[in-house]
Amino acid sequence: MADLASRISKPADAPADAPVDDAAAPSDAPADDAATPAAAPDQGNGTEKPIDDGANSGGLVEPTYDVEVKLSDLQADIESPLYSVSSFEELGLPKPINDGLLAMNFKKPSKIQERALPLMISNPPTNMIAQSQSGTGKTAAFVLTVLSRVDFSQPTQPQALLLAPSRELARQIQGVIQTVGQFCESLIVEAAIPGSISRETGVKGSVVVGTPGTVMDLVRRRQFDVSQLKVLVIDEADNMLDQQGMGDQCIRVKGMLPKTIQILLFSATFPDKVMNYARKYAPNANEIKLRHQELTVKGISQMYMDCPDESKKYDILCKLYGLMTIGSSVIFVRTRESANEIMRRMEADGHKVSALHGAYEGQNRDALLDDFRSGRSKVLITTNVLARGIDVSSVSMVINYDIPMKGFGDKEPDMETYLHRIGRTGRFGRVGVSISFVYDRKSFEALSKIAEFYGIDLVQLDPNDWDLTETKVQEVIKSSRAAPDYAPNALGN
């Protein structure tokens, strides 16, 4: 980080108020999808989008190197968030649920699972606010709790509601519940996302995962009987409860639910100001909190690319992909227009890439993400709509093409979004690289503040020395393939 800091103190090549967004983006473009989360995930009047197969392009071939660190070693390391002393059996979960975990090859709980589960599944039900680093198994922690509370003799009576900020995350959670619950007889899990619930039947599942706007609509139209709900989970709760985001919607949803409902709030980040809302939203909750210095994931090597100016960012991006053997990767940009523009240019340059953002219609988005999960496409260009929660274990690199910013006029670095974005790699003990592009004083200062806040030592990459850049990146991602004893991803990644 010393390099970065000293670079900032030198006269910068661009004025402090230089625009951060891609030059191609029109000025009225939304800052990103997550800045308007109430609308973005639920909206869907998208333009047409080519779906590519993405495989074997521009050096993007799945690497086949040995793995350096095994999951069993990490789960035995007391410092690791994956560490635990107990087994799932000791947690006393019903047998069909344990059978599901066995089928998924989950051998031991992670730290958050070990600590949170006994508190969440005990009676009388108690609220929970739980924080744990990205990719450490928060989903299974709340999914196990939900399944432990469902009465399977009433398969069409909604008993648990889970809310997520995007349709992609809602679908992913639905998939995890179905996989963990594969031996729970007559489990029906429905997704309450735009276009998924038939108007004739309404919601007919014991577990419902949705986005808040759609859930509210369904309840108002009397297509979702919430009277018997026992548990409410809010994933990415800091984002969901934020008054700039979906806070109002989540409050309104809660107002429609039984007063005695157990509330579970999960996220990798809980900034102080949101924590106050969280405590009101989930009163008398047990809390599992981390300090912000503890939030970074060790397996993610965080780097930055010192670009001479904004116009060179694109060439540097292409060079990076042209030179290296990278598994799957995600490129985060500020606006939908930048995503489209970079996709257009990379395709014209012979790379196979996909762009996914809130302007696309729902089913198109689903198909794009499914292609990425399955490895049919290897490079995903996206906005903050996919910054949170998405779990694709093969992602070995995340690019912050634009540093995430927030506030009026994008004044401040968005600490939380940075952490969530880079957390799309390095899942559950795997390793990965994040590369943040900086090019002017504003982007340098923003990244510098992020690094200081989390206590990160960023590794500098020099766009004029590609041999060294390649060595530094490959050193990390050569070991990014799943170890033989890694659990297969719940969704088959």
Ligand X SMILES: Nc1ncnc2c1ncn2[C@@H]1O[C@H](COP(=O)(O)OP(=O)(O)OP(=O)(O)O)[C@@H](O)[C@H]1O
Contact 281, 265 (CB under 8 A): yes
241/438 with CB nearer ligand X: 241
CA separation for the pair 446, 123 (Å, rounded): 46
481 binds ligand X per the rule CB under 6 A:
no
Q: Which of 125, 135, 213, 432 binds ligand X (CB under 6 A)?
A: 135
Least separation, in Å, of the C-beta of 269 and ligand X?
8
Q: Min. distance of Cβ 137 from ligand X in angstroms?
A: 3
Count of residues that interact with ligand X, criterion CB under 6 A: 23
Q: Could you tell me the smallest distance in angstroms from the CB atom of residue 143 to ligand X?
A: 8
Nearest distance in Å: CB 313, ligand X? 26
The backbone torsions φ and ψ at residue 232, rounded to the nearest 5 degrees and listed phi first, read -120, 125
Rounded distance between C-alpha atoms, residue 409 and residue 209, angstroms: 34
Site string for ligand X, 393-412 (x = CB under 6 A): x-------------------
Using CB under 6 A, which of 127, 131, 134, 443 touches ligand X? 134
- Could you tell me how many residues make up the chain? 493
Q: How far apart are CB 134 and ligand X at their closest, in Å?
A: 4
Whether the CB-CB separation of 431 and 69 falls below 8 Å is answered with yes
The tokens for 396 are: 């070995």
Q: Choose, by CB under 6 A, the member of 12, 25, 120, 138 that binds ligand X.
A: 138
Q: Does 489 bind ligand X (CB under 6 A)?
A: yes
Query: Which of 136, 166, 400, 448: binder of ligand X (CB under 6 A)?
Result: 136
Among 36, 131, 132, 396, binds ligand X (CB under 6 A): 132
Rounded CA separation 100/113 (Å): 15
131 token code pair: 């924080």
**Binders of ligand X among 226-285, rule CB under 6 A?**
268
Nearer to ligand X (CB atom), residue 166 or residue 338: 166
Residue ranges in 410-469 that form contacts with ligand X under rule CB under 6 A: 423, 427-428
Burial readout 121-140 (b: 16 or more C-beta within 10 A, e: otherwise):
beeebbbbbbbbbbbbbbbb
Q: How far is CA 47 from CA 24, 101, 364, 493, in A?
A: 18, 40, 9, 28
Which of 36, 110, 249, 443 is in the footprint of ligand X by CB under 6 A? 110
**Torsion angle of alpha carbons 138, 144, 150, 155, nearest 10°?**
90
| 317 versus 490: smaller Cβ distance to ligand X | 490
Distance, in Å, from the CA atom of 144 to the CA atom of 139, rounded to the nearest integer, reads 8
**Binding positions for ligand X, rule: CB under 6 A:** 106, 108-110, 113, 132, 134-140, 268, 389, 391, 393, 423, 427-428, 487, 489-490
